Structure 1
Amino acid sequence: MKLSTAVLLFLGILALVAGLPHTYDEKGSKVFRVVNTAQVENGLEKLQHLQVNENFDFWTRPNLKAATDIFVPPHRIEEFETYMKDNGFTYTVMIPDVGKLILQEKALNKQGPDMDWDNYQRYETILNFVDQSALSHSEIASVEEIGRTIENRPMIVIKIGTPVANKTKPAIFMDGGIHAREWISPALTTYFINQLVNNFTSYDDMLSQVDIYILPVANPDGYEYTHSNASGARMWRKNRRPDVSCPGVDLNRNFGYVWGGPGTSPNKCSEIYKGTQAFSEPESTAIRNFIQRKSIEGVNWRAYFAIHSYAQMWLVPWGWTYDFPQDYEDLVRFGNAGVAALTPVHGTRYDVGSVTELLSPGAGGSDDWAKGSGFFKYSQTVEVRDTGEYGFILPPSQIKDCALETWEAIRAIAKFLDEE
């Protein structure tokens, strides 16, 4: 039977719609929490199937030791619940209406031309703040453009440290906002910059001990897109690599250490799409090239921090295998030093361990590359607040509390490196 042009067009539209990004602000979108993965036969593999093969958006990685949060749009709720029941999973509704939460956040978030930490700011405001901070304190800070994004936005790194004669200080590198929807991450990196530069007299001892390089937003295109009015944009994760059906690459699956390993997807419509090859994206390439070049110039790289949300976990390599690095105990001791300083501030508790020990594999991350490349001994992914009540939509009212406690962890880590 020959299909009419209209039918073919309709089928084509259906295929296209099936591949489009999730509509997060659609009424009835939910976040479900799966609570018994360890009690289900092959439970981890079954959840990974949903993520890699069925393109469900996992807000936390599939894992055995903690609950797993999964976003489900209204038209897939029946499919999701059937899969859960057929396979013996127990689940609850963590966020009953994602769209409502997004609208509440939008109403509370008052953006302006000046930087503050009562609101989540736009990228232009962040750029201006970083540039001005360095100009005002050129004796300890400098800014460098390390590359351009897909949409030609500048990627900037600020170096902060007090020059010390005849001493090569240990250096810390920090990437923020590599996943676009994790707004709390750029809020934290800019808070750290403000503390170090504009309150530098309080931290002169710290700046004499270490040099700190901060990339406040590693995914500027994605971050700006999440602030747009496009449907579903607030929860966008990837960069903005153009594609007619499913744009974007997960930059934290695009780094060239065991690229394409477990916890990645070749499907362009997946939230964990790895890209066409390692370092296929200008954003990940810019980070790699900058770190390599600075190493050749004599920078003593020691610690790498990838700032993410959410889960309240201090994660160390590896993310591609269940095996531990040979110096795993050193990495955990390093993480514990940060958490020990963080928790007393507001009582916020973190788990410390490897990515696969606490969660599940996710190859191609910046943290694994930082460690596996040999540039850094200590490589960490810090998953900050919260544990799922708000998820990625952490209210602006929590920015300062989260920033202050995480800042205390960074201070402790700087001391750890100096004493080492």
Structure 2
Amino acid sequence: MRVVLGVAGGIAAYKACSVLRLLTEAGHEVTVVPTASALRFVGAPTWEALSGRPVSSEVWDDVPQVPHVRLGQQADLVLVAPATADLVARAAHGLADDLLTSTLLTARCPVVLAPAMHTEMWLHPATAANVETLRSRGVRVVDPASGRLTGADTGPGRLPEPEEIVAAALEAVGERAPAAHVQRDLEGRHVVVTAGGTREPLDPVRFLGNRSSGKQGYAVAAEAAARGARVSLVSANVSLAVPDGCDLLEVGTALELQEQVGSLVEGGGVDAVVMAAAVADFRPADYAEAKIKKTHGPDDETAPTIELVRNPDVLAGLVRARGGGRRPYLVGFAAETGDATGDVLSLARTKLERKGCDLLVANEVGTDRTFGRDDTTVHLLQPGQDEVETVGPATKTLVARAIWDRVASSLS
């Protein structure tokens, strides 16, 4: 694969050397395009030695080859790491005043930016607007990590680790990151993964649903398959490519999901179930066979009242069904917003105790968090343990990796 690795002028530019190494060792052909400022942090000889290819930051170099157009046209992936606040702003506004921004403007392949900047810059409304603009155009912007910055500063804005950047970039083109970490530690295991969000029909055209995209569940399924498991993927209303090595079982409602998962588990031989799907807690008590109409009287503002009934708790049912046994290993998800009764972690602890599962993955959700995003932060909780492992901000692939690390260790 032909990759353009853009490097903007920030202190984190040195980390791009490791990004470059990971990409080249995976067999990709990488052309490094630094900005003039980036070359003040890491010189061209370093990039040329690591990539084995000439390096330029100017549109005036090698003019007969028209590099400011050719690079973007021929690339299979453009990755910028680090992407400074200035680079993000120039990309969002379509500027093309050097070789890197010209390449971004001509690229028709997946584009991934890994920002790195001081916390105040990352949180500034201008940067937030620029990031939102880029994402709306299909650019994948990886959320920066939180940690030690230049000097004594600490906060969000730190460049993610090279392995995480490469994983996010290769996900964008449907490839798996260099898999030195992958062990076939699920070989011979049968696992069930649920993904997506159930929809509870009101009438032939309307339903009650949620914002789940299925990305996290599909990442969990893909990771299990890569580690050697036989994967049954129970998918509710997801428009994503089925991961290699997974058997797809499509469902629509919570009751259909319960039936499908129950059938798989009752059939025997299931070692683990990961309930990543967002299963509706309630459904309409009655289904209207025809579309529900609104009335049209001049002063009529009435609206129908929809009575809801509870859906079964699929995870709790699986816990009850296994009795005192230890199989299958059960992983639940707690998508929480926090409320007057507690924050995300306290609500997750309560849910873990109530559900009785072996591992709970808690994450904070909302209209601009987690759902549909490529990055997330989760907390892993287990019964009888006070310690909580926080993963993220990270790609959903890395979250899936952390989940299966826990599960595989317990199964063995």
TM-score above 0.5: no
**1 or 2, which has the higher strand percentage?**
2
Q: Report which structure shows greater RCO (CA 8 Å, sep ≥6).
A: 1
Q: TM-score, with normalisation over the residues of structure 1?
A: 0.27
Kindly indicate which of the two structures has a greater share of residues assigned to helix.
1
Larger radius of gyration: 2
TM-score (norm 2): 0.27
